[in-house]
Amino acid sequence: MSTQLLDLDIVSGPVVVVSYAVAAALLVYLLVRPGGWRWVRTIAITLLGGILGGTAVVLLLERGLNLFGGPIGPEARVWGVAAITAILIALVNLWRSRWWRKLIAALGVVAFALAATVGINAAFGINPTLGAFLHISTEKPIALVSPTKTPTEVSGPLYQTWKPPADMPAAGETGTQVIPGVISGFKARPAGIYLPPAARVKNAPPLPLVIMMMGQPGDPNPSFIGQVLGAYAAKHQGLAPIVVVADQLGNPNLDTLCLDSTKYGKVETYITRDVMNWAHANLNVIKDPAFTTVAGYSNGGECSIYFAAKYPTLFHNVIDVSGEEYQGTGDPKLALREVFGGNQVAYNEVKPLTLLSRNTYPNTTAVFTAGGNDPLFTEEAKKVEAAARAAGMKTTLVSVPGAGHGVDALLGGLEAGFKVLYPVLGLEAK
């Protein structure tokens, strides 16, 4: 599949317009049919049944079975109900109809499903291209600048000591790098890398480091955090952290729980040792944990607070964006059975709330965010933030106005997180 096709925008523009238009045209044709009041009655019953039945099915999948791992938001629910209703209308047209109406009805089933898929994907916004939707990265390998001196302590805030050269690029750069599982043996996908403008000049200063993890299903895509930090860098003389978007999944369809396990491999070792060792050896970053941040969204958000709670000597800063309360919240029975062999005590031992209850973190700054329209993850964020605050972390809890559990929550959460951390990381005045 060509890169041009994989880069096709599927959240706005021609693809979305055409898919919606085709579906709408087919739906109108299937609604209008000779048959008088008998057909009108049939369509009315079908519409009512589709709306009521579709709503029940969507709510069952979302809340009863938790198939999506959390709330999907009103826009996605409407698309789900609309698709079910439209497909029922198409199926009704298969009876007592000419062959061409049957053919159009069959095409309608495909078109309605496709339009709903496009609509739901656009509502979340996490997969903006066809490649992202198919979990195929089109990011190119990024060239790395060899680290200059990387002090373990910083002499002064960067915003005071840094003077950008005249030839500094106006924007940062994203790309990929393979980070091998030298110690862990974990087979990760290539990591996403973000280099801010200040990292792309000769004699660049060592910069703060961020280890970021995305959701599940998901990909180590650096574009979202790159977008947020690009805006910050533009206002701060090109200064921003260097980011490694690490792959904690290996396979987008698997939830590894960010743990070392027989089932999924040594993911925890991969992130805390392989990725950290690689970053320190290959990136021009400050090695002091005071300038090191672990961040994550959704599944990656839970990973971030878990690593911050368990490894305070590695990370003094954490941004937990719409994160789960603990590993495997989507299906805790499955996690208990497959990863812990039914041992509930062992499962409880690795939960962030357990770790936070047993330790103190006077040096850790933590930001917890959730979408204002995301009640489930808002409650989980409140619970984890309270535990982190009780454990001595300097915490901030942010509700992102109008956001659900998609790209609006991700971008808004990262913006809020770095608003807190920029002074902490020496990138702006406190």
Which residue range is the domain that position 146 belongs to?
138-424
Are 184 and 43 within one domain? no
Rounded CA gap, 141 and 385, in Å?
A: 37
Number of domains in the chain: 2
Lowest mean pLDDT among 45-54, 81-90, 125-134, 163-172: 125-134
Please tell me the predicted confidence (pLDDT) of residue 116.
Answer: 94
Instruction: Give domain status of residue 131, yes or no.
Output: no
pTM over 0.75: yes
The last residue of one of the domains, among 124, 150, 178, is 124
Are 111 and 258 within one domain? no
Predicted confidence (pLDDT) per residue in 157-183, tens digit: 999 999 999 999 999 999 999 999 999
Lowest mean pLDDT among 110-124, 236-250, 267-281, 379-393: 110-124
Please tell me the predicted confidence (pLDDT) of residue 152.
Answer: 47
Residue 191 φ/ψ, nearest 5 degrees:
-80, 150
The last residue of one of the domains, among 92, 124, 156, is 124
What average pLDDT does this structure show over 399-405?
92
Name the residue with higher pLDDT: 123 or 209.
209
| pLDDT category of residue 430 using cuts at 50, 70 and 90 | confident
What average pLDDT does this structure show over 83-90?
95
- Tell me if residue 412 falls in helix, strand or coil: helix
How does DSSP assign 322-362, residue by residue? S--SSTTTT-HHHHHHHTTTT-HHHHHHTSHHHHHHH---T
Predicted confidence (pLDDT) per residue in 96-154, tens digit: 889 999 999 999 999 999 999 999 999 888 888 888 888 888 888 998 877 766 544 55
CATH code: domain of residue 219 = 3.40.50.1820
Q: With a cut of 90, say whether residue 210 has pLDDT above it.
A: yes
Lowest mean pLDDT among 16-25, 82-91, 93-102: 93-102
